[in-house]
């Protein structure tokens, strides 16, 4: 491991950034260095500009990929190498504004019924019922289920923030049925390796197989369950500020995107009705 790479990792860790962010930032810096065949320490603003042009015009990377690369280089040159030109010479690309894909309540029900694996089904139910990110769902521990207070403790979500979300009676019933079969003790949804949770790839694969079995043709991923949770709550009459708290968004503007995908009618229906008749 090079000294520069080690210093960058140390700078990332002392700021309590997530392991995923550490891995992502280091990877992008390595790609930048490999592109020029030189250490980033001897590269500067002109090479950074050339690399951005290459990424946009030659690789046609998505906005999120491009933005990750920009953030990684900003961190390297602004924090680890302490260059004073970082902010001015690494502009962000304009983000494309797209609306999130959303499943209807009926589609969520069909999809969950199409998951044969008990553990995968319980996890996908939990992600939908709690509006969780995939990383938050697989990171849950048995101790995070507070049945006495009917709360789900989401620890160290995006931005290293904890939050509590309501635990519905329906979800608790399904989780108890799952626990009686698997008896997890540490992670609520353990993976094949001892002491490790389910791998995200395995969960995404299970979701996509269930999507195909259920006949859902619209593009969707595990994260679509979180979008669906927010939209269904909005359609049920839950106010936007409450949904912001449930999702763990720092900004209400981020949550307001769901105003553009809900059907506009306040149904007053239980957003978790999709979990009610899976047996």
In a domain, 144, yes or no: yes
Whether residues 83 and 120 fall in one domain = no
What is the model's pLDDT at position 254? 82
Whole-angstrom distance, CA of residue 259 vs CA of residue 196: 37
Q: Are 69 and 55 in contact (CB under 8 A)?
A: yes
Q: Write out pLDDT tens, residues 150-168.
A: 999 998 766 667 899 999 8
In a domain, 40, yes or no: yes
Q: Angle, to 10 degrees, between the axis of helix 19-36 and the axis of helix 63-75?
A: 90
In a domain, 94, yes or no: no
Pick the last residue of a domain from 34, 55, 89: 89
Whether residues 166 and 243 fall in one domain = yes
Which of 121, 133, 174, 232 is labelled catalytic?
A: 133
Which residue range forms the structural domain that includes residue 201? 105-275
Q: How many domains does the chain have?
A: 2
Whether residues 109 and 69 fall in one domain = no
Pick the last residue of a domain from 30, 56, 89: 89
Which of 226, 227, 232, 233 is labelled catalytic?
A: 226
Whether residues 129 and 244 fall in one domain = yes
Whether residues 204 and 253 fall in one domain = yes
Whole-angstrom distance, CA of residue 258 vs CA of residue 109: 20
* SS3 of residue 152 by DSSP: strand
Per-residue confidence in pLDDT tens, the chain, 279 aa = 589 999 999 999 998 888 888 999 999 999 999 999 999 999 999 999 899 888 888 787 777 888 899 999 999 999 999 998 765 556 666 666 778 889 999 999 999 999 999 999 999 999 999 999 999 999 999 999 999 999 999 987 666 678 999 998 989 999 999 999 999 999 999 998 888 999 999 999 999 999 999 999 999 999 999 999 999 998 888 888 999 988 988 888 888 888 877 766 566 566 776 676 666
Mean pLDDT of all residues belonging to the chain = 88
- 49 catalytically annotated: no
Q: Write out pLDDT tens, residues 80-129.
A: 999 987 655 566 666 667 788 899 999 999 999 999 999 999 999 999 99
Whole-angstrom distance, CA of residue 83 vs CA of residue 177: 56
Whole-angstrom distance, CA of residue 61 vs CA of residue 101: 21
Whether residues 39 and 145 fall in one domain = no
CATH number, domain of 239, equals 1.10.443.10
In a domain, 95, yes or no: no
- 153 catalytically annotated: no
In a domain, 98, yes or no: no
Cβ neighbourhood burial of 65 (10 Å; 0-12, 13-18, 19+): middle
Beta strand pairing call for 145-146 and 151-157:
antiparallel
In a domain, 270, yes or no: yes
- 133 catalytically annotated: yes
Whether residues 43 and 112 fall in one domain = no
CATH number, domain of 74, equals 1.10.150.130
Whether residues 137 and 180 fall in one domain = yes
Which of 153, 155, 213, 223 is labelled catalytic?
A: 223
- 223 catalytically annotated: yes
Residue 103: φ, ψ to 5°: -95, 150
Which of 5, 35, 158, 213 is labelled catalytic?
A: 158
Whether residues 119 and 257 fall in one domain = yes
Q: Are 141 and 186 in contact (CB under 8 A)?
A: yes
């Amino acid at each position: 491991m090079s000294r520069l790479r080690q210093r960058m990792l140390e700078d990332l860790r002392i700021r309590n950034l997530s392991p995923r962010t550490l891995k992502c930032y280091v990877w992008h810096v390595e790609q930048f260095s490999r592109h020029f065949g030189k250490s980033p320490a001897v590269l500067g603003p002109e090479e950074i500009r050339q690399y951005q042009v290459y990424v946009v015009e030659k690789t046609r990377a998505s906005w999120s990929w491009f933005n990750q690369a920009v953030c990684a280089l900003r961190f390297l040159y602004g924090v680890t190498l302490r260059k004073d030109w970082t902010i001015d010479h690494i502009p962000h690309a304009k983000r494309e504004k797209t609306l999130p894909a959303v499943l209807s309540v009926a589609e969520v029900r069909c999809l969950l019924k199409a998951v044969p694996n008990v553990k995968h089904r319980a996890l996908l139910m939990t992600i939908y019922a709690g509006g969780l990110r995939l990383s938050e769902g697989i990171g849950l521990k048995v101790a995070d289920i507070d049945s006495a207070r009917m709360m789900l403790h989401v620890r160290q979500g995006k931005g290293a923030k904890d939050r509590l979300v309501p635990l519905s009676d329906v979800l608790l019933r399904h989780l108890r049925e799952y626990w009686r079969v698997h008896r997890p003790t540490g992670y609520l949804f353990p993976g094949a390796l001892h002491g490790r949770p389910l791998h995200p790839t395995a969960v995404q694969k299970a979701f996509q197989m269930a999507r195909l079995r259920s006949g859902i043709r619209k593009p969707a991923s595990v994260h679509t369950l979180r979008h669906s949770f927010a939209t269904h709550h909005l359609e049920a009459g839950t106010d936007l500020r409450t949904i912001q708290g449930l999702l763990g968004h720092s900004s209400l503007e981020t949550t307001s995107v769901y105003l553009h995908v809900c059907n506009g009618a306040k149904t007053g229906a239980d957003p978790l009705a999709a979990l009610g008749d899976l047996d």
